[in-house]
Amino acid sequence: MKKAFFSTVLLVLASIASFAQVKWNADPAHTAIIFSVKHLGINYVQGHFAKFSGAIETADSTNFQNAKVDFSADVNSINTGIEQRDGHLKSDDFFNAAQFPDIKVKSVSFKKVTGNKYIMLADVTIRNTTKRVPFDVTYNGVVRDPWGLWRAGFTAKATINRLDFGVKYADKLPSGVYAVAPSVDILVNAEIVKK
């Protein structure tokens, strides 16, 4: 009887262990959230968010299939290198940082395509509007750093239409070209650290 009980307990514990999640956090010193948008139809302006947080959960330290990703960027930390432009981006013409201070990205699925390539479907929330967006993700590897911590690197890319999220600034040139294009390219270089 005791033997059967202990066998059952061991099976339950093994089952719990198999569902255990490894937790990772984005390293802010080695992670960047960058965006690029066409200006006047002839050039690209880039910017980034200086403040953000990111948490990832995986099945183990080397298997990122079905990873859960949760990122948040502080809109008030937007930086394009021009203070006046940054102020405009924080206004209601664009992000309305006073009312909607965060941009959120939460994965719905994270699937391996081939080799080190993944597709992440994520719910992206801007100005309280959520849309599902596909991200092309490249896994850049995992290493143990000189301080004994495990680190993994990823590059994620996506393109969104800002008008879909209520980012409403839509001035056009006499030719009909948008002063600021609706299409915005997103690039995330993330270095995550195992907790």
Judge whether 45 lies within some domain: yes
Number of folded domains that form the chain: 1
Judge whether 143 lies within some domain: yes
Judge whether 10 lies within some domain: no
Say yes or no to pLDDT of 88 above 80: yes
pTM of the entire structure? Answer: 0.87
CATH code of the domain in which 140 resides: 2.40.128.110
For 100-129, how does the pLDDT look when each residue is reduced to its tens digit (9 = 90+)?
999 999 999 999 999 999 999 999 999 999
Q: What is the overall mean pLDDT for the chain?
A: 92
77: left (phi over 0), alpha (psi -120 to 50) or beta: alpha
For every residue of 169-194, which 3-state class applies, written as one string?
CCCECCCCCECEEEEEEEEEEEEEEE
Residue-number span of the structural domain to which 162 is assigned = 21-194
Over residues 150-164, the mean pLDDT reads: 97
pLDDT at 185: 98
Tell me how far apart the alpha carbons of residues 2 and 184 are, in angstroms, rounded to a whole number. 63
